[in-house]
Amino acid sequence: MDWKNQVILITGGTGSFGKKFTQTLLAEKQPKKIIIFSRDELKQHEMQVGGFNHPSLRYFIGDIRDRERLVRAMHGVDVVVHAAALKQVPACEYNPMEAIKTNIMGTANVVEAALDAGVEKVMTISTDKAVSPANLYGATKLAAEKLTIQSNAYAGGSATKFSCVRYGNVVGSRGSVVPLFLKQRESGAVTITDERMTRFWLSLEQGVKFVIDCIEQMEGGEVFVPKIPSTKVVDLAKAIVPNAKINIIGIRPGEKLHEMLISEDEARNTVERGNMYVVKPPEPLWKRDMNYEGNPLPEGFHYSSDNNSEWLDIDGVKKFVAPFEELFKQGKLEG
């Protein structure tokens, strides 16, 4: 894939992922143009004055709920990375229709606009919460995944290819527990909902590089899942606030003890490929020569944060969190 000739559009481009993805593309791939598509003019302004003023960058004000604006923004675009979403679990629970309008209907608009504009590739960013969802946010992301994957049928086996990337918690990203624990460090006490809780973790850099890698190899119809470590949330708290007093406040509605990236049912259609798993479409309803290479998984396999073969201990967590310590001191870490 020759990135230098590509025009890239990123929905939700002013978010944590969007900014790091843009920064990485400019430094390593030098695409012809990158379009930042988002609805917040202040965040776009802050992004521009904060150093994202490269001549290849364009800023489009727009909402993924507005299909016509998406069609206009995607004119001449080769690759769409769909990262826009309402992602705060409590906010989605309290505002269910807003979550549905953005995460489901917004994704449908991205799909239709990409088809109409003749975009070559669309990659939707998903989450482990989409697997066996226990909250509305996860349910909307599950629907967004299904919309993305099955829209390969609308493409008629030609033109636009649709795939997803699904991964766990991103250390230090907007909404991450890391900024919360850093703030609580001043008091010497941290709050945890349940001491048994585990989560998948990866850095923002890992997430971005994984997405780039998957865009390069996608054939359309895959859900790409990285192999990433798990950690106990208690260990995360101890790494950030040594000798902390831990207050157990009880699991919240819609929260899981352990997250899952591949369910046992999905595993039947999943192959292992190097540093990732590739969930194949169970029944491709489109005509396209596809070669989802990889090794099949054993019967009964599932990939959850509590049965992971790779774990981060407290020292490992400290290495993950270290880059955010200075950002927090400077007041630049987004909570």
Tell me which residue of 128, 138, 323, 317 sits closest to 232, measured CA to CA.
Answer: 317
Residue 129 annotated to the active site: yes
List the Cα angle 97/100/101 in 5-degree steps.
85
* Residue labelled with tokens 């269910």: 96
Catalytic position from the list 19, 20, 87, 129: 129
Cβ-proximal residues to 229 (8 Å cutoff; 6+ apart), any chain: 200, 201, 202, 308, 310, 311, 312, 316
Label residues 274-302 b or e (16+ Cβ within 10 Å = b). eebbbbbbeebebeeebebeeeebeeebb
Contacts for 62 with CB less than 8 Å, ≥ 6 apart: 37, 38, 39, 69, 70, 73
Three-class SS string for 285-333?
CCCCCCCCCCEECCCCCCEECCCCCCECCHHHHHHHHHHHHHHHHCCCC
Pick from 18, 38, 34: which is nearest to 26 by CA?
34
Q: Which residues carry out catalysis? A: 129
